[in-house]
Structure 1
Amino acid sequence: MLQMFLLVAALLIIILSLISFWLPLIKPDSEKLSPYECGFDPLGSARLPYSMRFFLVAILFLLFDLEIALLLPTPWATQIIDPPQMAFWVYTILLLLTLGFVYEWYEGGLEWAE
């Protein structure tokens, strides 16, 4: 059974690696070949003002991403001695995540156009 799993995993890795090397070579154009500098024009002036909205959305993404990462050990936490305590902390994290999302939504932090 373990050998079958390892064989399928290795085959999947090889197939996905080959696809990832082959797929970008289909239609290279100037947009794909140019460097991406976080929304800035890499050939323009470095002293142009930048949009604070871009950085606000990036920070919000990091915050929500870190809160979701706190939920990753949940399947292993179901094996602890006190399951109600585990459920309490999981629901607390989900509540904080939901409240933060609702607050940002009402404050307009998720709107791109002003």
Structure 2
Amino acid sequence: MGDVAQISEFGKILIFLITGIIIVCGIFAANRLFSTYNPNPEKLTSYECGEEPVGSAWLPFNSRFYVIALVFLLFEVEMVFVFPWATVFGSHEIAKAAPQWGLFSLIEMFIFLGILILGLLYVWCKGDLDWIKPAVIKPTTDVKIPASLYEQLNLEQSTYTVRKFSLEPAAVAAGTAETAPATPQPIRKPMFKPTFKKPENE
């Protein structure tokens, strides 16, 4: 018999992916078999941060969410190509068989990442990653009063005095409390006397 063929690096990744899929599917199958299924209206409602979902799900949202999701998806998919490159670059068998492949793959990956970084800089400089900010609009009126008069009115704080809060009548708060003797206010009695009827059953 000949030598047993070794599993390549890509084969190991494939076995890892197959094992992960089998484990996840097995967990879902076990959950389906052993868990109880008692649906009710509370369980069937959609979970929304602990709050009751109110209204329709079709709500307007900022368009920058869509742009940022596209940019993220683009770079995320392209970064997947780094993993096969890492397996080739880190392979000792390939490095021994053809040493020039190590330098070639290193230069190729620097070029690939450089293109990604240039694309990110282009998107950044173009402003696609900036959030939409409302334009600040300064209100204007057709009043003929100059703005300097408003500023002068705001600066004249000495002419306006703030009186202290008091529960006394206005005359006492204005300063007549020192001259007029303090007379106690009579206690007001209710105008009517509440009466309660007894139930007729008793």
TM-score range for the pair, normalised by the shorter chain length: 0.5 to 0.7
Identity fraction in percent: 33
Question: 1:74 offset after TM fit, Å?
Answer: 2.9
**Closer, same or farther: CA 93–34 of 1 in aligned 2, 3 Å:** farther
Q: 1:94 aligns with which of 113, 120, 123?
A: 113
Structure 2 residue aligned with 1:25: none
Answer yes or no: is 1:69 the counterpart of 2:69. Answer: no
Gaps of 5+ in 1: 1-29, 36-41
Matched residue SS, 2:82? coil
CA contact 2:64–2:131 (8 Å) conserved in 1: yes
Question: 1:76 offset after TM fit, Å?
Answer: 1.2
CA contact 1:57–1:110 (8 Å) conserved in 2: yes
Alignment of 1:1-114 (within 5 A): 32-34=49-51, 43-78=54-89, 79=91, 80=94, 81=98, 82-114=101-133
CA contact 1:67–1:93 (8 Å) conserved in 2: no
Structure 2 residue aligned with 1:9: none
Runs of 4+ in 1 over 4 A off after TM superposition: none
* Number of residue pairs matched by the alignment: 79
Give the alignment's Cα RMSD to 1 decimal. Answer: 2.5
CA contact 2:64–2:132 (8 Å) conserved in 1: no
Higher helix share: 1
Gaps of 5+ in 2: 1-46, 134-202
Aligned equivalents of 1:86, 1:48: Cα separation in 2: 48
**Closer, same or farther: CA 52–113 of 1 in aligned 2, 3 Å:** closer
Matched residue SS, 1:103? helix
Question: 1:47 offset after TM fit, Å?
Answer: 4.5
Amino acid at match of 2:49: K
Structure number with larger C-alpha Rg: 2
Matched residue SS, 2:109? helix
